[in-house]
Structure 1
C-alpha cells in the first residue's frame, strides 16, 4: 500500500511485503522521513546511510541518491516521508521573517536523533495515512508546516539548510561527472546540478570530454562495469550500480564494446 497525495503538499507512506527493492532518484525537495519498519540503505557519491526502525532523517534537496529498501523477515517495509517543498518553506520564511545566517555544506542525508516531539508528531500522522482519504491537501499542508516548525525547534541548526533558497551554482563539470556518472538520471538533471542550462551543459561537456554526454556516459559506465565484474561482482548486481536500467540492454552494450557477454567474464 502506498498512500500519496496527488498534488502538493505531498506526504508519502510506503508500505509493502515485497522483497528488497532498489532504485535511484533525484531529490528535488527536502524530505523529512521516519523509518517505521524494515531498513533503508541509501548512498550518494560520497557516503552510505543506514536507516533502521525508529530512525528519523532529513534528505537535502538537489542531491542524487541510490537506495535499497529491505522489509523485515515475514513483515512489511514501512516509512513515512514528508516533502518540504520550496513554496511552503517560503511561506514560513516570509511569515516569521526567517533568514539563514550562513550557507552550510552538510551531508546530503542527515540522521536526526529521536525526540518526543518527533515521535508524537509521527503518531498523529499515521492514523491519517493508514486510511484512504480525499480532499486532504489542506490537512497535509498544515502537517508539513508543523513538521518544519518542529525541525527548527528540535534541531535549530537545520534552519540554515531548510531556508536556503539558492539554486546550484556553476561548478567543475569534469569532477562532478566523474563522481556521479553512475546515477541514471536525465541530462537535464546533471545540467541543473552543475549550474547550467541543458544547452550550455552539452556545449561545455563536449569541450571538456571531447564526446557527447550520451557517448561518454555509456563508455564510462561500461568501463566501470568491466572492472567490477572482473573483481568478482555478478553482472545482475553491477548493471544497476553503474547506471543501467535494463539488464538486457546492459548485456547488449557490454558485448558490443568488449566482444563478450558480462556473464562469461564473471565466470572466468
Structure 2
C-alpha cells in the first residue's frame, strides 16, 4: 500500500508502507529533498545514490533516474521534495541579478551537508503539509522561494546550477542511447535530452543505427534482459531494470524474439 500527497506540482510529501520500485523518471526541474524515514536508492546512468533518514539531497533538472523507496521495518517511508521550477528561478534571477558564471560539473544527484537551517525549514514545512487545506498555492510558492534563498545562503556554489537556464545541446546520439536505453521514457524525452526535435531525433537515429528508435530500443532491452536472466537474475526484477513497464508484455516480447519464456533461461 502506498500514499502520495501532492500539493500542486511543486511540493511532494510522500508516504509508502511497502517497498516501491517506481518506473523511470525524467527530472524536469531541480529538486530539493529531505529524507524523513526509510531509504531511497536512486540510479542514473553513471552512479547509484543512497539516501538515509535525515539526509538532504539535490537533484538536477534534465536527468534520467530510477528510484527505489524502502520503508523501515514496520514503518513508513517518508520524504519531502520541493520542485524548484524555472519560472520561480527566473523571477529570483531577475529580482536579485543572479546568473550562472560557469557550467557546473556535478552529478545528477548529490548530498547536501546537514544544516540546522535546512532542518528547521523542513520541519516548518511538514506542519503545513499535514494540515489539509486548499488554496495554499501562494503560501507554497513563498516556501519554494525561501528554499532557494536558503540553498544559496548555505551552498552558494549552487548558483551556477540554479540559474543555468540553458537547454540541452546537441550531443552524440549513439553514446547517449547506449547509456540510457534502459530508461523507459517517451521518445520526446530522448529527443529533448540529445538536443533535437522529435523529427530530427528520428532522422538522426535512423542514420546512426539503421533502425527506427522503437525497434532498436525493444531489441536492445531484450538483449540486455537475456544476458541478465542468463546470469541468474529473476525476470520479475529484470524487466523493470531494462525499461519495460509490464511483466506480461516483457514475457510476450521475449518469447517472440528468443522462442522461450524468460524463466526457462534460469532452468538451463
TM-score, length-scaled by structure 2:
0.98
Does 1:98 pair with 2:95?
no
Provide the residue aligned with 1:179 in structure 2. 179
What is the CA deviation profile of residues 103-134 of structure 1, one whole-angstrom value per residue up to 9, with x for unaligned ones?
11210001100001100100110001112110
* Alignment check: 8 A CA contact 1:34 1:54 kept: yes
For residues 152 and 128 of structure 1, what CA distance do their matches in structure 2 show? 23
Provide the residue aligned with 2:5 in structure 1. 3
Query: Gaps (5+ residues) in structure 2?
Result: none
Task: Please list every run of at least 4 consecutive aligned residues from structure 1 whose deviation after the TM superposition is greater than 6 angstroms.
Answer: none
Query: Map of 1:116-131 to 2, 5 A cutoff?
Result: 116-131=116-131
Question: Number of matched residues?
Answer: 266
For residues 167 and 21 of structure 2, what CA distance do their matches in structure 1 show? 31
Provide the residue aligned with 1:250 in structure 2. 250
For residues 265 and 203 of structure 1, what CA distance do their matches in structure 2 show? 36
* Alignment check: 8 A CA contact 1:235 1:266 kept: no
TM-score, length-scaled by structure 1:
0.98
Does 1:148 pair with 2:148?
yes
What is the CA deviation profile of residues 200-250 of structure 1, one whole-angstrom value per residue up to 9, with x for unaligned ones?
000000000000000000000000000001111111100000000001110
Provide the residue aligned with 2:24 in structure 1. 24
Please report the RMSD computed on the Cα atoms of aligned residues, expressed in angstroms: 0.8
Shift of 1:174: 0.2
Provide the residue aligned with 2:79 in structure 1. 79
Query: Map of 1:40-79 to 2, 5 A cutoff?
Result: 40-79=40-79
What is the CA deviation profile of residues 131-163 of structure 1, one whole-angstrom value per residue up to 9, with x for unaligned ones?
211001000000000000000110011110011
Query: Gaps (5+ residues) in structure 1?
Result: none
